[in-house]
């Protein structure tokens, strides 16, 4: 599990550690780790050209001391001093090792650039000359390494206002910062490498599950299992206008390990579900005739008229966990009573749908995803899976979970319906809303990567477009990659 922390908690831990250690120990540890990463990226240090972008704070000192270490190994190190002041000890050490001060023209000659402009305390848009230097890093051929956090990225939220460095690698110290895991900051961080500097940290604010964490969550059938013990999921999705949503949501549930899928919907999508998923048990438009389920999925393609509201209201009165998605969220934005349930409730909005629930502009949610996922969980009393470039799972009094899997090719019609069915199957299998949402998002992302590349899920995704059907087809492989 990868854990991340609020900036204030990291600073508190640093202060405690600095009080115990000789002056400069933590900076020395950070600089050593940064220099080691840079040396590995360069391959051959001797004769390489390294440019340091040095701000006024401790990040500038880290960059200078790392530059000193690289200079002593034969690198040609030049420092661009952007701040109103410079870490005196770091600059003296760099000069003693043969490094020198230069200007921004040195960027054109660099093999590697170290961004030490602004640290974790940076807020708001970069000002000149920092903004101009951040802009220049977009045009260099060099590898760009950020110190602790890319300059221009809010380390606490991932928010980016104006110019920001887009790093190939970010070397962060002591702990991952929240903004390195949440877009848009995550997209600027590149590969994040953690250097342990000996901090004692409290419980995390954000976590990103890894393969072994998700594997531990997944329900597994035992020898005595039958279809009822494995979980019966009910799906109310699709309409005469949106027939495909029914087929995709049912497919996500079938491939997601449900013991049985009961589908409720109009006659036309029922015919398509029967043809594609004959194992599903179908009922036409009467919630009272569906039979017992362990969880409900309500909303994908359901419609937003009076009849859809009637069906949603009837199903959400049940005492079993429910996932509300798509049109179900639109209905809930008009009638908040749909969310006032005694049983656990998971909603799976994208930013536009969450904007309707919270009355907040979509662009503000996209800029501050973490803040609004937490706010929605608190105000609505539900578990929130906020879909998007960074999928977040928020629940009151729990760390926000950031999903690390997926591919931009998931931004295509129908993939959200598949996710809903998959998460519903996991709910019916006994997982909590928090765990079902986390595991479903992870598996969904793994399946999408395999579909996009045709390669094992751990490899980088390529450039192949995918469809929602492709994701369904790859779900068994995603499960097998986690469960030996």
Binding positions for K(+) are: 59, 115, 151
Residue recorded with tokens 């998700």: 214
Residue 21 burial (CB count, 10 A): 13
Residue recorded with tokens 């599950």: 209
Q: Which of 34, 6, 419, 396 is nearest to 237 (CA)?
A: 419
Which residues belong to the annotated binding site? 58-62, 115, 119-125, 130, 148, 151, 245, 301, 350, 387-391, 416-417
Q: Which of 306, 318, 356 is nearest to 336 (CA)?
A: 356
Give the tokens for residue 237: 């999705």
- List, as own/partner pairs, every contact residues 410-413 make where C-beta atoms lie below 8 angstroms and the sequence separation is at least 24, other chains included: 410/444, 410/445, 410/448, 410/466, 410/471, 412/465, 412/466, 412/467, 412/468, 413/468
**Residues 470, 307: Cα–Cα separation, whole Å:** 32
Which residues lie below 8 Å from residue 87, measured CB to CB, with a gap of 6+?
A: 54, 58, 60, 61, 64
Identify the burial level of 196 via C-beta atoms within 10 angstroms of its C-beta, where 0-12 means exposed, 13-18 middle and 19 or more buried.
Answer: exposed
**Residues 359, 353: Cα–Cα separation, whole Å:** 10
**Residues 470, 410: Cα–Cα separation, whole Å:** 10
Question: Measured between alpha carbons, how far is residue 136 from residues 53, 54, 113, 140, 271 in Å?
Answer: 11, 14, 11, 7, 58
Q: In what order do the strands lie in the sheet with 76-81?
A: 100-102, 76-81, 49-54, 112-116, 143-147, 169-173, 191-195
Polymer length in residues for the chain: 484
**Residues 455, 441: Cα–Cα separation, whole Å:** 19
Which residues belong to the annotated binding site for AMP? 387-391, 416
**Residues 192, 234: Cα–Cα separation, whole Å:** 41
**Residues 135, 163: Cα–Cα separation, whole Å:** 6
Give the tokens for residue 379: 């105000």
């Amino acid at each position: 599990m990868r854990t991340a922390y609020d900036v204030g908690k990291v600073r508190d831990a640093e202060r405690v550690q600095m009080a115990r250690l000789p002056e400069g120990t933590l900076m020395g540890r950070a600089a050593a780790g940064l220099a080691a990463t840079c040396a590995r990226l360069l391959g051959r240090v001797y004769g390489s050209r390294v440019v340091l972008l040095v701000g006024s704070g401790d990040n500038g000192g880290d960059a200078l001391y790392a530059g000193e270490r690289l200079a002593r190994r034969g690198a040609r190190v030049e420092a661009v001093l952007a701040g109103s002041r410079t870490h005196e000890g770091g600059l003296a050490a760099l000069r003693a090792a043969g490094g020198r001060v230069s200007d921004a023209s040195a960027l054109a000659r660099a093999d590697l650039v170290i961004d030490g402009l602004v640290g974790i305390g940076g807020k708001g848009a970069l000002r000149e000359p920092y903004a101009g230097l951040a802009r220049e890093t977009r045009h260099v051929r060099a590898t760009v390494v950020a110190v602790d956090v890319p300059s221009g990225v809010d380390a606490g939220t991932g928010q980016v206002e104006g110019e920001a460095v887009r790093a190939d690698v970010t070397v962060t110290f002591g702990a991952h910062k929240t903004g390195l895991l949440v877009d848009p900051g995550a997209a600027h961080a590149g590969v994040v490498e953690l250097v342990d500097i000996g901090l004692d940290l409290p419980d995390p604010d954000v976590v990103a599950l890894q393969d072994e964490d998700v594997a531990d969550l997944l329900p597994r059938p035992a020898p005595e299992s039958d279809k009822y013990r494995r979980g019966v999921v009910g799906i109310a999705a699709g309409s005469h206008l949106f027939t495909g949503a029914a087929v995709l949501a049912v497919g996500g549930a079938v491939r997601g390990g449900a013991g049985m899928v009961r589908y409720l919907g109009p006659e036309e999508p029922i015919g398509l579900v029967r043809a594609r998923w004959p194992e599903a048990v179908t009922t036409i438009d009467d919630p009272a005739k569906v039979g017992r389920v362990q969880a409900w999925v309500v909303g994908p393609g359901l419609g937003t008229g009076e009849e859809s509201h009637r069906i949603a209201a009837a199903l959400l009165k049940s005492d079993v966990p429910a996932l509300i998605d798509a049109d179900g969220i639109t209905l809930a934005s008009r009638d908040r009573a749909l969310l006032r349930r005694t049983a656990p409730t998971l909603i799976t909005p994208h930013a536009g749908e969450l904007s309707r629930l919270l009355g907040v502009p979509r662009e503000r949610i996209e800029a501050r995803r973490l803040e609004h996922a937490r706010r929605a969980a608190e105000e609505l009393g539900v578990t929130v899976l906020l879909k998007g470039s960074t999928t977040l799972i928020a629940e009151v009094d729990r760390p926000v979970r950031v999903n690390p899997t997926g591919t931009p090719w998931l931004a295509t019609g129908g993939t959200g319906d598949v996710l809903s069915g998959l998460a519903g199957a996991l709910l019916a299998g006994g997982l909590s809303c928090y765990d079902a949402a986390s595991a479903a998002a992870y598996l969904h992302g793994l399946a999408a990567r395999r579909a996009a590349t045709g390669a094992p899920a751990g490899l980088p995704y390529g450039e192949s477009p995918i469809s929602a059907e492709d994701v369904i087809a790859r779900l068994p492989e995603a499960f097998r990659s986690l469960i030996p």
